[in-house]
Chains A and B, each alone.
Chain A
Amino acid sequence: AQKITQTQPGMFVQEKEAVTLDCTYDTSDPSYGLFWYKQPSSGEMIFLIYQGSYDQQNATEGRYSLNFQKARKSANLVISASQLGDSAMYFCAMREDRRALTFGSGTRLQVQP
């Protein structure tokens, strides 16, 4: 079974609107962390936001927030007020028991003017 599932290969959003990128995960570890990364066309991996499995509140970082629903094993990324520079690939990833990150297949977001 896939550990990280991103079901949206591609998404479009209008500039200044909000968009939600879906991520579901599968783990039996009680302690885990969920990460979102942005990969622009230049190729580098840019860390966006982190949510720990024991965190009581949803993580937020500027225009990024993570909608963490533990019982449903989902960790969706919400980008508010989209900008043209948000066009990129977005990857959800999970760390279990301080091991390496496992990545999903990604979602390509295109922001339209």
Chain B
Amino acid sequence: NAGVTQTPKFQVLKTGQSMTLQCAQDMNHNSMYWYRQDPGMGLRLIYYSASEGTTDKGEVPNGYNVSRLNKREFSLRLESAAPSQTSVYFCASSDNYGYTFGSGTRLTVV
């Protein structure tokens, strides 16, 4: 089915470890986004990519890096994970008509 695929769905990291969250969309959307959702809160924008080859910081970019590998893929990297990065991470893509979200990655940093 067409949509946004995120991997992994769950991950536990130790403080200081690194990891990359993967996101791919097959809807030919130009724009892609990474959000984080903390308990009881709305989604906050980490980074976004308006088109292939461009990325911009969102509201909470510290501690993260992103790569827009091609039109389909937009990855989020945590270089040195901290407990404050424990959250649910959502990837999304959009065209002129709306947004499609992935099912989320639940990340715990211990």
Other 7 A-B pairs with CB < 8 A, given A100-B31, A103-B42, A106-B41: A4-B42, A44-B101, A100-B48, A101-B43, A101-B92, A105-B40, A106-B40
By the criterion of a CB under 8 Å from any partner CB, how many residues of chain B are at the interface? 21
Q: How far, in whole Å, are A98 and B92 apart by their CA atoms in the complex?
A: 14
Contact mask A58-73 → B, CB, 8 Å, 1/0?
0000000000000000
Task: Determine whether the beta carbon of A44 is less than 8 Å from that of B103.
Answer: yes
Which A residue's beta carbon lies closest to that of B49? A100
Contact of A106 among B42, B44, B48, B103 (CB under 8 A): B42
Report the Cα distance A25→B42, complex, angstroms: 14
Q: Across the interface, do B45 and A100 meet the contact criterion of CB distance under 8 Å?
A: yes
Known A44-B103, A91-B42, A105-B42; judge A100-B33 contact (CB<8 A): yes
Within the assembled complex, what's the spacing in Å between the Cα atoms of A99 and B99? 11
Closest chain A residue, CB of each to CB of B48: A100
Tell me if B58 and A45 are in contact (CB < 8 A).
no
In the complex, the chain B residue whose C-beta lies closest to that of A47 is B98
Determine the distance from Cα of A103 to Cα of B96 in the docked complex, in whole angstroms: 18
